[in-house]
Chain A
Amino acid sequence: DIVMTQSPLSLPVTPGEPASISCRSSQSLLHSNGYNFLDWYLQKPGQSPQLLIFLGSHRASGVPDRFSGSGSGTDFTLKISRVEAEDVGVYYCMNSLRAPLSFGGGTKVEIK
């Protein structure tokens, strides 16, 4: 099974400043079709999770372009170019390559 590890656990951020979250998988998420099967989700306080990034770097519908995903194989990064107050919540990466699908432990982003 693929184990997902995120860092940091908690990330205090200043509005307007950039932020970065790392995710590492225990096995490569690079498919033979050239895509990395890695998703990023955001769960805002009191809400259901929402898909931010799929296939490593593709923004989901309606996601602001300040969010970007990068990386390949086993190492991935989610970047927020300029954090806004509405970006607070817990961010999760997820292996979407094969079952069992697996989430990272989460990174809690909060405003300083």
Chain B
Amino acid sequence: EVQLVESGGGLVQPGGSLRLSCAASGFTFRSYWMSWVRQAPGKGLEWVATIKGDETDNYYVDSVRGRFTISRDNAKNSLYLQMNSLRAVDTAVYYCARDRVPESYGDMDVWGKGTTVMVSS
């Protein structure tokens, strides 16, 4: 069964750091682009970052560039999001998602259940 399981969320103070993880199973992880998408409380979906299967390419939304880093460990079938200098506006449920085809990003066809990040003093 294809599955994504996020972890690492929690309560952090403004300016703090957090590292999210996503454990993948049931597919050839290293072949696929992977993404993080977030959803603030009561709000819509916002794409955060995307990384290529071989880690040679990645993209970020402007609001997190320079503060967040997407990475992966293909040997461990894991995706990560290192979040630094956190702000209250980063409070959200963070979803890990697989991009549908190995050759390109977009079309996210497998999603995890999400992990909640709350930034508050």
Contact (A101, B44) CB under 8 Å given A48-B112, A51-B109, A54-B100: no
Q: Which of A55, A92, A106 contacts B107 (CB 8 A)?
A: A55
Q: Which of B59, B106, B108 contacts A97 (CB 8 A)?
A: B106
Q: Which residue of B lies closest to A106 (CB)?
A: B44
A43 part of interface (Cβ distance < 8 Å): yes
Which residues of chain B are near A73, meaning CB under 8 Å?
none
B100 near A105 with CB under 8 A, answer no
User: In the complex, what distance in Å separates the CA atom of A36 from the CA atom of B59?
Assistant: 21
B67 part of interface (Cβ distance < 8 Å): no
A61 near B109 with CB under 8 A, answer yes
Contact (A100, B107) CB under 8 Å given A48-B112, A48-B113, A49-B95: no
Interface size on B, residues (CB 8 A): 22
Query: Residues 62-86 of chain B: 1 if any A CB is under 8 Å from the residue's CB, otherwise 0?
Result: 1000000000000000000000000
B106 near A101 with CB under 8 A, answer yes
A101 near B109 with CB under 8 A, answer no
Query: Residues 1-44 of chain A: 1 if any B CB is under 8 Å from the residue's CB, otherwise 0?
Result: 10000000000000000000000000000000000010101010
B47 near A41 with CB under 8 A, answer no
Tell me the smallest distance from the CB of A46 to a CB of chain B, in Å.
Answer: 10
Which residues of chain A are near B109, meaning CB under 8 Å?
51, 54, 60-61
A contacts with B: majority SS: loop
User: In the complex, what distance in Å separates the CA atom of A64 from the CA atom of B106?
Assistant: 21
Interface size on A, residues (CB 8 A): 26
Q: Which residue of A lies closest to B96 (CB)?
A: A48
B106 near A48 with CB under 8 A, answer no
User: In the complex, what distance in Å separates the CA atom of A90 from the CA atom of B95?
Assistant: 16
Name the residue in B45, B59, B100 with the highest tally of chain A Cβ atoms < 10 Å from its Cβ: B45
A96 part of interface (Cβ distance < 8 Å): yes
Which residues of chain A are near B37, meaning CB under 8 Å?
49
User: In the complex, what distance in Å separates the CA atom of A97 from the CA atom of B107?
Assistant: 10
User: In the complex, what distance in Å separates the CA atom of A109 from the CA atom of B63?
Assistant: 29
B45 near A103 with CB under 8 A, answer yes
Contact (A48, B107) CB under 8 Å given A43-B45, A100-B59: no
- Can you list 28 A-B contacts (CB < 8 A)? A1-B62, A41-B108, A48-B95, A49-B37, A49-B108, A49-B111, A51-B108, A51-B109, A54-B106, A60-B100, A61-B109, A90-B44, A92-B44, A94-B47, A96-B107, A97-B106, A99-B59, A99-B60, A99-B105, A100-B59, A100-B62, A101-B47, A101-B50, A101-B59, A103-B44, A103-B46, A103-B47, A105-B44
